[in-house]
Structure 1
């Protein structure tokens, strides 16, 4: 087995040293080569994964996306390859991928078995729990407290599906609102239109940390489930999948992913120098040690 790994590593090193010939390219790599540009789907407010800091798109996921872009440049022998960013939402990111409007999306997209029907996913780069954020003054501590109350989540997310299933299964009679994006959902909770915003734990921690009054809010609730984020690209494209996974696996096993994690989750981040204060979990530490592309649902 060790010999096989060494051979694969050698092949990987050779691939990095010798750019692919244009006539050998297929799928996304051929499209990027011919267009002279890679089109990234980015988010406006998925703090600290992919968000606009007032000048440019930054974040943990965006850093991973740019590492992938660097590998594409090397593979294609195109050091001046341009990057075009297209803002996507939870609702339109998959259709935009399928319609060739974006080539790659690394934001806060959950890899689910259902989504595998229409898109492909990379090695996971983050594992998390689905919880909620509420005002401390609301008295909300767990999901049964939401019975009969207005609750918000983001449209087109796996969290919306989990929340609606909970509502039906437990007959909570919640009034579920589906916001266009995470910022709109958080604002709905903050402004009192909903008592809680149900979303991925790191996302709500990001909103709590960056609010002018973070102590007014609490992240709470028994997890509705555990999920993973991954980069998303078109199905049936093995060369592109191999490239993306090679980048992510190397980052995780080399220690670079943990460095990136510390940068975006445990240190001050732009534009206001806020610290999300979300230490590396044992689940993510295990993921980094054993890169894989499995959905958890």
Structure 2
């Protein structure tokens, strides 16, 4: 019996150091702490939000949980726990970069300029920015905002593009920056702004979550291209390989359809051709 115990202990000592030597960056951090930290948003449905039971939920959160399972498999540890940290739009990149969270599970647009601070997984969604309006509004596009008040979440790509489009169109509108979509919905409901700019798919979620969705409508124009991805730290290829591998398997197997239907199916909407193409192109072979 003692010989068997000694052999088992010896095997563990032979395997564990080898694994430890292979681990770097975020994988090593997770292995050492026994915890993976997921950043989420408070009110960006259906991608990342706090549900009625006060738990993080959404399309992007579900994708992150698939990545968690892949991390457990990579580390050979089923005991890894998940810790959630709620993030604002203005701090999400910094909190990934400084190690507060290991991956941001929100609706963040992958841009070249943001790559100077953080890295991104392969794409997870494609949408574009639009305007949420009070029902009956005559506003059809950014060009109709002359003399109007439009809210936008501060620090987003939508804010940057909105200001550029207004300038290019020689339209003078008052841009009201807000900390989150929840604040914007309060302003819009009270008539304190005439429109709220944001990614169309998020605006739909906000309208559907409102007490009376019939009080809102969408402008028909999309004025940005927004490719979403999950945010990870720079120079951490090993962790990104695990994350991208989990996403690729999800896309390649067709299981992404179940995740999509869970969060978007009740809207009666089907994935756009562009989104289906994105899934196909990112469903890389193992």
Same fold (TM over 0.5): yes
What CA deviation, in whole Å up to 9, does each residue of 1:231-260 have, x standing for no partner? 001001111111111111111121111211
Name the structure 1 match of 2:11.
Answer: none
1:30 alignment partner, one of 28, 31, 41:
28
The CA deviation at 1:116 is 0.9
Name the structure 1 match of 2:49.
Answer: 51
Distance in 2, matches of 1:286 and 1:190, equals 37
The CA deviation at 1:139 is 1.8
How many residues are matched?
A: 268
What CA deviation, in whole Å up to 9, does each residue of 1:269-292 have, x standing for no partner? xxxxxxx44321111111111118
Name the structure 2 match of 1:9.
Answer: none
Q: Which moved more, 1:84-93 or 1:140-149?
A: 140-149
The CA deviation at 1:157 is 0.7
What CA deviation, in whole Å up to 9, does each residue of 1:145-165 have, x standing for no partner? 111211001111100000111
Unpaired runs of 5+ in structure 2?
Answer: 1-14
Q: Which moved more, 1:228-237 or 1:139-148?
A: 139-148
Name the structure 2 match of 1:67.
Answer: 66
Distance in 1, matches of 2:182 and 2:270, equals 23
Question: What secondary structure sits across from 1:107 in the alignment?
Answer: strand
Distance in 2, matches of 1:175 and 1:213, equals 26
Would you say the 8 A contact 1:143–1:221 is kept in 2? no
1:278 alignment partner, one of 261, 266, 269:
269
Would you say the 8 A contact 1:124–1:292 is kept in 2? no
Would you say the 8 A contact 2:250–2:283 is kept in 1? no
Distance in 2, matches of 1:130 and 1:199, equals 5
Would you say the 8 A contact 2:133–2:195 is kept in 1? yes
The CA deviation at 1:122 is 0.6
Distance in 2, matches of 1:292 and 1:108, equals 20
After TM superposition, list the pairs within 5 Å mapping 1:33-182 onto structure 2: 33-55=31-53, 56-182=55-181
Distance 1:292 1:113, change over 3 A: farther
The CA deviation at 1:64 is 0.3
Name the structure 1 match of 2:193.
Answer: 194
- Larger of the two Rg values belongs to structure: 2
Name the structure 2 match of 1:250.
Answer: 249
Distance 1:179 1:292, change over 3 A: farther
Unpaired runs of 5+ in structure 1?
Answer: 1-17, 268-275
Name the structure 2 match of 1:208.
Answer: 207
After TM superposition, list the pairs within 5 Å mapping 1:258-277 onto structure 2: 258-267=257-266, 276-277=267-268
Would you say the 8 A contact 1:41–1:105 is kept in 2? yes
Structure 1 ranges of 4+ moved more than 2 A: 276-279
Question: What secondary structure sits across from 1:41 in the alignment?
Answer: strand
